Structure 1
Amino acid sequence: MADSTDIKWNFSSYTDKKGRTYIISYYNKWDSIKKQSRVAQRVHVGRLNSDTGEVSLGKTYLELHPEYTGCSVFYEDNRLVIRSAEEALSIRQEADIDLSWRCDCISFGLTYSLWEMAKRHGIISSLKSVFGEDGLDLLRLGIYELCSHSMAMHNYEDWLSMYYLPDAQPLSGQKISRLLATVTQEKIDDYFTLRHSRLTELHQQKKEYANKKGLYVPPMMMAMDSTSISTYSKTIDDAAFGHAKQDDFLKQVNLTLCVDYASGDVCYAYESEGSVNDMTIFPDILMRMRNMGMDLSDILVVTDRGYSSVMNVQKQINVQIKFLTGVKLTEDSVKAKIDRYKESLNNPVFMKGVLGVYARTGEVEKWSSTCEGYTIDHDVYLHLYHSGTLGEQENVNFMRDVQRLLDIQNNKLKTDRNLWQRYSKYIEQDKKTKTWYLKADAVEKACRYNGYFALRTNEISDPFDALVVYRERNIVEVAFKQFKVLNGGERLYATGSTYKGKIFIHLLAQTLRMMMCVTAAGHKAEGKVLPGESLEKAMIQLKKLQATKAPGIGSYITKEIPKKTRDLFDLFGIPYPKKHIKN
């Protein structure tokens, strides 16, 4: 068989009656009489090992193609491919893996994307450094929690049979419990120390590069948010009754996350007793991070009003932390400043149309700290804001609930206990007519500061710049809340020995989801957006991408990747998958 540049040789396979598979080579020639392409010549290549994809070349074919002599030749994508000795050994070993438990067609796109994202952000290397190979199983369980919307852990092996995760093996409920029990607070702290170090190093590199260009880089920004997780367990020490929006009959544990603005990565997490509120736990979190050796000197800590108190501001000043925090309007001094500057806060000159708010700096507050016997003064900016739209909505919501309570009382309907507790001070009953009516002074006082809010910071002097940074934390807050709703995060089914591991898996799942949210939000300016601006819709589209088990070998072949899926890979910075993927 003499090759010619004018002849294109193709390869194909066929299986005989005894189940043996052979590879043939052929080329087509145009039949001018029948007006169709027909096989002009067919040559036997060799026998295919269906378990590995390796071809045992025939003697005649080797004589015609001596370049294959002594080589490991495999049949892939309808062509012959030479593999190195190491690659050939790996393929043979892969073929020995039992994949009978896995479906022939599996969902590939979403789990592949999450795994690649964890790899790109160094999560896999951090997990392996702390937990060894068990760290990869913890990540797989985290991906399972995210993709399955928190199905029970004992369903993991059934779910895994239908989804791609590299080098994964089924884990029984008993094995999972043993794995979760190995997760200790010390290992969790070690993991987050690595994550924090990585993020601060990346920020420092960015800062050094910008300095060479004469550019300013703001501090690394870290949002702090928390949630409560209810539990039925009687063996969790930190479970306690606290302020619960639902399931107030259950004990709960609190979970606080510190999230990097730039990547959505969780750089620290703190689990605490359920009866302790955010404002109280905040100083302990800062001290734990510092005691673990985390450098907070060039980090801007952004918190909402739940963490706000004069004591917490003073604490951050004492330990020289940059901060931006929402301020509760329960502070009389803040309300006094709003009253003083109310005219400005309703003057279009003090409005930024893009943000839709009025703003001005109430004053530069003077705070002090003591270091080695010396008193140091610090400037802290108190920024005041007014949103007419927000104020109108708050008024509507307030009056809707108050008037609903009024209707219940006047129509002698069944009393809503929660409504009564919150709004009874705004209505009163006429002693003669027994009719309930609004207490005008109380209502006016309650609505007086609707639409007004304040931020306090020792870093950002411009009130509009401060608001932009504060609003960006909403990405984290929304992602946090959506995850809790969609993944059943409001309940913790675990024992005292495994709940640390269950929470850690929850954290890994939450981290991956927030990374996707933040990455997508970062590309909006380029016109790249999520389908329907919904992460859930994007995740469903990724799930549609499938891979099919290759005949007899331990690998899968990905199906054609639609443009919508390629766009999502580009949006999340995920490399396109190879045609052949291993277990």
Structure 2
Amino acid sequence: MATIIHQTDKRSGITYAYESVSYWDKEKKQSRAKRTLIGRVDQETGEIIPTDGRGKKSKDLEGPLKPGPVLTKHTARTFYGATYLLDAIGEKLGITDDLKKCFPKDYRQMLSIAYYLILEDSNPLYRFEKWGSLHKHPYGKDITSQCSSELFASITEEAKNDFFRLQGKRRAEKEYWAYDITSVSSYSESLRQVQYGLNKENDRLPQINLAMVFGEVSNLPFCYRKLAGNIPDSKTIKNLLADFNILGYPKVKLVMDRGFYSEKNINALYKDHLKFLMSAKMSSSLIKSALDPIYNDFRSFENYSEKYELYYRSVQSDWHYSQDRPNKGDTVEDKRRIYIHYYFNIDKAAEDEKRFDKNLIALRRELESGKKVPEHESQYKKYFDTKTTPKRGTKAMIKEDVVRAAKRYYGYFALITNETMDAITALEIYRNKDLVEKAFGNLKERLNMRRTLVSSEQSLDGKLFVEFIALIYLSYIKKQMQDTNLFKEYTIQGVLDKLDVIECFEESHQKLRLGEMLEEQIALYNNIGIDPPASL
């Protein structure tokens, strides 16, 4: 007698239906069973979809069927235009292949969650069920909150590093990599790395910090690290360089803001023979001493950039390099060549001076009214001489020479590098670093990471990784839209919405059929660098 048996493939998660027929084996003198594959079980409806495991009609099903279960057809009409776009981007950038190698069992779920985060723009993950039922996506089934939590907890550090390594090999080798850190506030009290620190959004909640590396030419993120919320930017370079060595990228070019400017960091970059471009602190003795000889002639017409509306000059100087050698118990000292690019912006100088003068007025008012602020005591002593008489009270006189020295470098900023380039090239490379800050904005706003609510370390790590995957897609779309001037007419969400309405129709043993497309939609695919979809 024939019975129907269901069996789930642990690798793919697909449940198959078999027809099992019992018979007596005369040689072994025991009851045996012969199984014949009859189809795949639809997880939502329980219907059996005929297949032999390769998408072809099974030979066992040829001819008249024996009495048994009635096989039903699978039909579905779903939205496909936007998820097709993400499928194609994933194939183009190697995201899908790299995830499949690193997460062979779970990569489809990870992609579907990433697609949802991109297309639903800040909607919480518990709304996935409705979205998933309306869209064609890699996993093809619902992902419950419990399933997503289990998925996040299963993502290991080793697998993440493997993915970073694979994606890194696809990046341009000669481009600068922008490095920056942002803070992500958290309501959780159980996460060890959630600490109070310098919150870059002036949020009063504790936080974690995210350090991220972006390619300046590709505009795509390469890797990231999660840090404790109280770790300052300048303390992270040593581990960043170690990470690069582990990932197999010992020779990179980094561009960083002045938060990373320190003697220790620059020495570490020289030690590892890495090229760097970094914003310098104007208060540094090296920066001021190299500027002073050219200060009076700095604002010459020949050194003015009409494009950027500023003056610029470059100076070659020496960096006093030192390296401690604990094994030998000594310190190596040497001079290394460094290039300093200076810039002066008249508008910025005026704004800085105006702000400074307003502050001086407020300080003098506090002194003369007797309503001093304890936190301002050092500024009182630095900028004012005071004289108090019984008749006139307290009078505060400005220290003109001190004020003049404070204003001397207003409007100036400097970039330092150990690679030969002109000042304008250095400025353009540095300004491209803004893409990291904008990517952080995408991460927090579009991907719902303004404040994290997860309560376990593993879930947080896993969720951050899937959101990082989504960020790669968003960064690619944003770069293509910038290059083709699409932002003049569309937002990112506007483009995705335009494509999201394109349908597809699926039926058992039939090719996927595509719904109607407008010329405007075809043009959007082409502008984003993706061939428009066609019926399979």
> TM-score when scaled to structure 1?
0.68
Distance 1:439 1:574, change over 3 A: farther
Equivalence for 1:186: 158
Q: 1:229 touches 1:490 (CA, 8 Å); kept in 2? A: yes
Counterpart-to-counterpart distance in 2, 1:367 and 1:191: 38
Residue 294 (structure 1) aligned to one of 243, 248, 268: 248
Distance 1:504 1:551, change over 3 A: closer
1:252 aligns with 2:207: yes
Q: Which moved more, 1:424-433 or 1:242-251?
A: 424-433
Counterpart-to-counterpart distance in 1, 2:203 and 2:161: 30
Equivalence for 1:530: 486
Counterpart-to-counterpart distance in 2, 1:315 and 1:565: 50
- Match runs of 1:35-46 below 5 Å: none
- Match runs of 1:10-159 below 5 Å: 89=57, 104=77, 106=79, 108-159=80-131
Distance 1:169 1:469, change over 3 A: same
Residue 188 (structure 2) aligned to one of 216, 233, 246: 233
Distance 1:165 1:379, change over 3 A: same
1:572 aligns with 2:528: yes
- Match runs of 1:118-517 below 5 Å: 118-199=90-171, 203=173, 219-246=174-201, 248-290=203-245, 292-297=246-251, 299-368=252-321, 378-395=336-353, 402=359, 446-496=406-456, 497-517=458-478
**Counterpart amino acid of 2:347?**
T
1:388, CA displacement in angstroms?
Answer: 2.0
Q: 1:479 touches 1:517 (CA, 8 Å); kept in 2? A: no
Q: Equivalent residue of 2:502, what SS? A: strand
1:519 aligns with 2:480: yes
1:87, CA displacement in angstroms?
Answer: 6.3
1:310, CA displacement in angstroms?
Answer: 1.6
Q: 1:239 touches 1:273 (CA, 8 Å); kept in 2? A: yes
Counterpart-to-counterpart distance in 1, 2:242 and 2:512: 49
The answer for unaligned runs of 5 or more in structure 1 is 1-84, 204-218
Q: 2:193 touches 2:228 (CA, 8 Å); kept in 1? A: yes
Distance 1:445 1:89, change over 3 A: farther
Distance 1:551 1:158, change over 3 A: closer
Q: 1:406 touches 1:437 (CA, 8 Å); kept in 2? A: no
Counterpart-to-counterpart distance in 2, 1:531 and 1:473: 20
Q: 2:502 touches 2:516 (CA, 8 Å); kept in 1? A: no
1:319, CA displacement in angstroms?
Answer: 0.8
Computed over aligned residues only, the root mean square deviation of the Cα atoms, in angstroms, reads: 4.0
Distance 1:331 1:137, change over 3 A: same
1:167, CA displacement in angstroms?
Answer: 4.3
Counterpart-to-counterpart distance in 2, 1:407 and 1:262: 50
What per-residue deviation string (whole Å, max 9, x for no partner) do you get for residues 180-235 of structure 1?
00012222222111112232xx54xxxxxxxxxxxxxxx23211111111112222
Counterpart-to-counterpart distance in 2, 1:364 and 1:352: 23
Q: 2:353 touches 2:407 (CA, 8 Å); kept in 1? A: yes
**Counterpart amino acid of 1:123?**
I
Counterpart-to-counterpart distance in 2, 1:476 and 1:136: 27
Counterpart-to-counterpart distance in 1, 2:395 and 2:120: 53
- Percent identity, aligned pairs only? 23
Counterpart-to-counterpart distance in 1, 2:357 and 2:130: 51
Counterpart-to-counterpart distance in 2, 1:341 and 1:307: 26
Q: Equivalent residue of 2:348, what SS? A: helix
Q: Which moved more, 1:424-433 or 1:117-126?
A: 424-433
Q: Equivalent residue of 1:325, what SS? A: strand
Q: 2:442 touches 2:471 (CA, 8 Å); kept in 1? A: no
What per-residue deviation string (whole Å, max 9, x for no partner) do you get for residues 351-392 of structure 1?
232333322222232455779999876322111111223334
Q: Equivalent residue of 2:467, what SS? A: helix
**Counterpart amino acid of 2:479?**
V
Q: 1:367 touches 1:380 (CA, 8 Å); kept in 2? A: no
Distance 1:157 1:357, change over 3 A: same
1:96, CA displacement in angstroms?
Answer: 5.3
Counterpart-to-counterpart distance in 2, 1:509 and 1:422: 48
**Counterpart amino acid of 2:258?**
R
Counterpart-to-counterpart distance in 1, 2:258 and 2:417: 13
Distance 1:406 1:421, change over 3 A: closer
Counterpart-to-counterpart distance in 2, 1:394 and 1:178: 52
Q: 2:503 touches 2:514 (CA, 8 Å); kept in 1? A: yes
1:476, CA displacement in angstroms?
Answer: 3.2
Distance 1:136 1:167, change over 3 A: closer
**Counterpart amino acid of 1:229?**
V
> TM-score when scaled to structure 2?
0.74
1:578, CA displacement in angstroms?
Answer: 1.3
Counterpart-to-counterpart distance in 2, 1:105 and 1:98: 10
Equivalence for 2:495: 541
